[in-house]
Amino acid sequence: MFPVGAEATIEQLTADPHPLLARLRAAEPVSWLPALNGWLVTRHDLALQVMKDAATFTVDDPRFSTAQVVGPSMLSLDADEHARHRTPFSRQFRPREIEDRFGDFVRAECARLVDGFVATGRAELRRALAGPLAVAVVADALGLDATDAKRVLAWYDAIVSTVAEISAGHEPDPGGAQAFGELRAHIEGSTAKPSLLADAARALALPEVVSNAAVLMFGGIETTEGMIANLVLHLLTNPSQLDVVRADPARIPDAVEESLRMEPAAAVVDRYATRDVELAGASIARGDLVTVSLTAANRDPAVFDNPDEFDLGRPNLRHQLAFARGPHFCLGIDLARLETRVAVEAVLDRLPGLALTDPATPAGLVFRKPDGVHVRWDAP
C-alpha cells in the first residue's frame, strides 16, 4: 500500500533524508512508515493542514514523551488549556520585547565568545559559539546568570536523555526527574525577581510555570545551536550567497530563513489523530501517530523552485515551516532569529578570510545539525 514508506529506515532519515523524502512526497505524501510506527506527512500543503487542525491532530496524548518528564505544558496541551499556558508568555516574546530584553545581552555574549578564540585562527564554531550562546540566552531568560550556564546545560542533558529513553520505550533513569527537581527548586526561589517567568507566575500555578520553563529550555538550546551551525555551514559552502551577505549585511535575515528552509533544525513535529480521518488517500485511524516532516515540506517543489538550492533570492523564502504553524508555532522565533543573526554578523565581521577546514553536513532524525563546523581564518 505504501511501498516507499515500507522500505524507509531510521538510518536514511537520520543521515541524508532528502532523496527519500522527495520520493515519498511525489508518490506517497502521507505514508505509513513502519520504522516510525506512524504516518509521515511530506507535502507543504498537507503539513500546514495537519498543524493547523489541532482538533483532529493533537499533541495532547499520554505517549508524548516530553510531557512525561516535565509535566503538562503549552507544548503538550491543546485548545483552551494550551492558550492558558501560552498566553502569559506570548507578550514577552514579541519582536520589540525580544530586542529590548535580549538584544544587548546577545551582542555582548557573542562578542565575549568570539574574543575567546579570535586569536587562534581556528575553531569549531558549533561548540565554541553556537552551543554556548544558546545556553547562555536560555540561562538568562530563566533568570540565571551566565556563570550558571553549566547548570542549565546539565539539566538540559539529563532531561533530553530521559525523554529519549522514554521515546525509545525504555525505562527512564532517575537523572531526568532529579534535574527537573533542581530546575523547579531554582524557579521557586526566583520568581520574585523580575524575569520572563515572574510575569508568567502571576497567571499560572507554580508547577505550571516550572513545566513551561522546562519547555523554553527544551525548545531553545539544541534547536538554536543547530540553526546557527547550519547557517554558517550553508554560507561557507555556497560562496556566491556568502558574497551576497558580505556585500549587504541587511540580507542576513534572508540567509537565516533560507537556511531554515534547507535544514529546519527541528526536522519533525508529532501529532496524534483524535478520530479516523482520510488525508491524501491515507486512512488514518484514531490514535495513530502522525509525524509532519518540516524538512520535506520545506523542499516541496510545488512551493519552492529548485528546492535543493540555497538561494537568498527566493521571493517566498518566508513560507518555510521550520518554526511550525498553527497554535503551537514556535514561541521563540524572534529570539532564535536574533541569536542567529547576531552570531553570523559576529563571525563575518570578526573572522576575515573565514573558510571550512573539514567537510560537514547536517544530520539527525529530530534535531539536525552538523557534527562540527571546523573553520580557519586570518588571525589578527
Residues that bind ligand HEM (CB under 6 A): 59, 74-75, 86, 215-216, 219-220, 223-224, 227, 260, 264-266, 269, 322-324, 328, 330-332, 335-336
Strands (E), 62-145: 122-124
The nearer residue to ligand HEM, 227 or 347, going by C-beta atoms, is: 227
Q: Is 186 helix (H, G, I), strand (E, B) or coil?
A: helix
Rounded Cα gap, residues 262 and 254, in angstroms: 12
C-alpha distances out from residue 237 to 247, 359, 377, Å? 17, 9, 15
Strand-pair category, 282-284 with 30-33: unpaired
Query: Using an 8 Å Cβ cutoff, are 363 and 14 in contact?
Result: yes
Closest by CA to 66, choosing from 273, 227, 266, is 266
Query: Using an 8 Å Cβ cutoff, are 224 and 339 in contact?
Result: yes
Q: How many helices (H) and strands (E) does the chain have?
A: 18, 10
* Minimum distance from residue 78 beta carbon to ligand HEM (Å): 9
Rounded Cα gap, residues 292 and 127, in angstroms: 29
Contacts of 135 by beta carbon, 8 Å cutoff, 6+ apart = 149, 152, 153, 156, 221
C-alpha distances out from residue 128 to 60, 72, 108, 214, 372, Å? 37, 34, 15, 24, 10
